[in-house]
Amino acid sequence: MLTIGTSLRNRYKIVAKIGQGGMGAVYLAEDQRLAGRRVAVKVLHPGGALSPSTAEQLEREAQVLARLDHPTLPRVSDFFTPEEDEGHSVAMVMDYIAGQDLAEIVKEARRKGRFLPPTQVLSWAESLCDTLTYLHLQEPAILHRDIKPGNIKLAPDGTVKLVDFGIALILDAGSDQTVTSAKGIGTLPYLPLEQYGADLSGNDPRADLYSLGATVYHLLTGQQPLSAQERFLQPERFQPPSALVPTLMPHVERAILRAMALKPEGRPVSAEAFKQELLRGEVPPTVADETTLEEALRANALLVAVALLLFLGALALTLI
């Protein structure tokens, strides 16, 4: 843990601790080389002494994140191993985003006995869908893996910012080192079932869609959804959004529930598809809906065989 007043790299003076998680902490710091600039310093603790391979992997991922350029993402500007921690952690320096996070905003609304306006929530969701589209279309694709109201800041200019890339995953199918060494798994109410395991075989962009769907559920209803594990074990306990907000538009609820499907195959195929359904009620096919002709024939082989026999029988009769 860093103390207030510590200067990292003789440049970043720690001013306050602004967040704490299982993988590390986030600090507000002043950039002593650029007067007036404030940054967020995320200090990750992967566990034990930092091996050269782990440090190299984390640095490679920081370089990928540093190349991102999107209005809803904070820029990563520096990455290093703090000497103050004797080689047990790494630090990532990012833009500091002032303002409340959406978890605080929805909690404040519930204290006042009201819901957040659906039009406002859908506007935020539209922006976040665009963010995920940008991340998922990177080469290699980038998964955030911890989307939740607490990781979304409402900036002073009214835009939302998706923060906290401490456990982001770079999906590089051509590499045997695609797993970030900071193996955080996310936050349970927003965590898809396939991310409960220790391996990352179930990770693809639809995992982020589950988390975003659960986030929109929370923002609209004022309540965290049941975890995917609880829903799997006790499906009768899960309340659809309209049970909590009866005035919710049916197509919005349908989009949320599809994004929160327990099986990835039941979710929209992309963030753009989720956006279209959430905002306009358009229902593009899920992966489960996209059955090829070969798959359809294989799944219905008996029916095809009977139909073929009937056709040949009818054809024979016409030739007699």
Q: Catalytic residue at 146?
A: yes
Q: Is 15 helix (H, G, I), strand (E, B) or coil?
A: strand
Query: 40 pairs with which residues across the strands?
Result: 28, 94
Task: Answer whether 40's CB lies under 8 Å from 30's CB.
Answer: no
d(CA 163, CA 192) in angstroms, rounded, equals 19
- Catalytic, out of 146, 172, 199, 208: 146
E strand residue ranges, the chain? 7-8, 12-21, 24-31, 38-44, 76-80, 90-95, 141-143, 152-154, 160-162, 169-171
Nearest one of 180, 184, 206, 182 to 193, comparing CA atoms:
206
Q: What is the DSSP letter of 1?
A: -
Residues labelled as active-site residues: 146
